[in-house]
Amino acid sequence: MSRETLISGVEYELLLKEFILFANRELGKIKVDEILKNFSSSEKIAKFLFKVQRLNIRLGTDDFLGCIHSSRSFVFSKAETISVAAIALLMKWDQKVGKPNGLSDDIYLNKIFFRILDKCDGFKTHLGSGPNFFERFNDHLLNMETRNEFKSDIPVFKTEITFDSILCSAILSGKKREFRVRDNLEYINRSPNVWKLDSYDNENGAVFSSDFLDGSILVNYPYKPGSIINVYDLSNTSRIHSQIKILGCHLQRFRDVDPEDCNR
């Protein structure tokens, strides 16, 4: 399982829950409770949260880690301790700023979650004496995926899309109003002739079934109707070029699409 699969296909709440359980097992519940107590009593962190509530903005990985490092409670702490405190800060930001103001979603939170862990892993010296805390957590997630334990009935919707400069200009001017995104149907398109469409839900996705499968497959839409999507230009993906509102979705298997139309 790739990191991208985890980011786009797993609910943030599931990753958060697994990390807390893992930290309790690895570090001990008493140690984790102590970290969270120091986190809750930190005046520096409280001021930081108050400030970002007023600004009402999304934050980057360095914002969360910088705040934790600036707190006297964590100045000389180990990377594992810093990671627990930073993930706790991400959770608090989501509760106080992200969710109430529509600034957070699973993909954004998952990206920050893993970037925090990766940066904390980078703080450690790797001596080749076996997997460390962060590597063991990654192995834990891999084992969960192997056992198919990451299941959710809630569709995961994407919030960003990248086009070339011509399409970006067309979006910005309003001249281009329909876009085809070839995504999310890889499994069915391997053998399209054996699948049939059972039901169609413009809000969540479409259900496909097959004679050889005992059950059906829900193909979630990558973009949610009514949502605002950030559009990036391929030539400069560091900033938002424009935004579009998704008015509706139409799901097609590749065999149902004119090949010439796909190239437009």
Kindly state whether residues 166 and 69 are assigned to the same domain.
no
Is residue 151 one of the residues assigned to a domain? no
Kindly state whether residues 166 and 246 are assigned to the same domain.
yes
Is residue 9 one of the residues assigned to a domain? yes
Tally of CB atoms within 10 A around 74 = 22
Q: How many independent structural domains does the chain possess?
A: 2
pLDDT of 184 higher than 70: no
Q: What are the pLDDT digits (tens) for 136-153? A: 998 888 888 766 666 655
Q: Which of 146, 176, 211 is the last residue of a domain?
A: 146
Kindly state whether residues 20 and 102 are assigned to the same domain.
yes
Is residue 154 one of the residues assigned to a domain? no
- pLDDT for the residue 111: 93
Contact 195, 209 (CB under 8 A): yes
pLDDT of 9 higher than 50: yes
Confidence band, pLDDT 50/70/90 cuts, at residue 173:
confident
Q: What does the chain come to in residues?
A: 264
Tally of CB atoms within 10 A around 20 = 17
What is the C-alpha separation between 40 and 68, in angstroms, rounded?
A: 12
What is the C-alpha separation between 191 and 185, in angstroms, rounded?
A: 11
What is the C-alpha separation between 86 and 79, in angstroms, rounded?
A: 10
Kindly state whether residues 34 and 105 are assigned to the same domain.
yes
DSSP string of 51-95, one letter each residue: HHHHHT----HHHHHHHHHHSGGGTT--HHHHHHHHHHHHHHHII
Residues contacting residue 118 through CB under 8 Å, at least 6 positions apart: 134
Quote the tokens at residue 62.
């360095």
Contact 21, 139 (CB under 8 A): no
Alpha helix ranges (H) inside 77-212 = 79-93, 106-123, 133-146, 165-173, 186-189
Range of the domain at 236: 160-262
Collapsing DSSP states into helix, strand and coil, what is residue 222?
coil
Kindly state whether residues 40 and 142 are assigned to the same domain.
yes
What DSSP element (H or E) covers 5?
Answer: helix 3-9
- pLDDT for the residue 119: 94
Is residue 90 one of the residues assigned to a domain? yes
Q: Which of 86, 116, 146 is the last residue of a domain?
A: 146
More confident residue, 97 or 187: 97
Q: Which of 105, 124, 146 is the last residue of a domain?
A: 146
Which range among 25-34, 52-61, 239-248 shows the weakest confidence by mean pLDDT? 239-248
Tally of CB atoms within 10 A around 44 = 15
Kindly state whether residues 22 and 141 are assigned to the same domain.
yes
Q: What are the pLDDT digits (tens) for 78-134? A: 999 999 999 999 999 998 999 888 888 888 999 999 999 999 998 877 666 778 999
Kindly state whether residues 185 and 104 are assigned to the same domain.
no
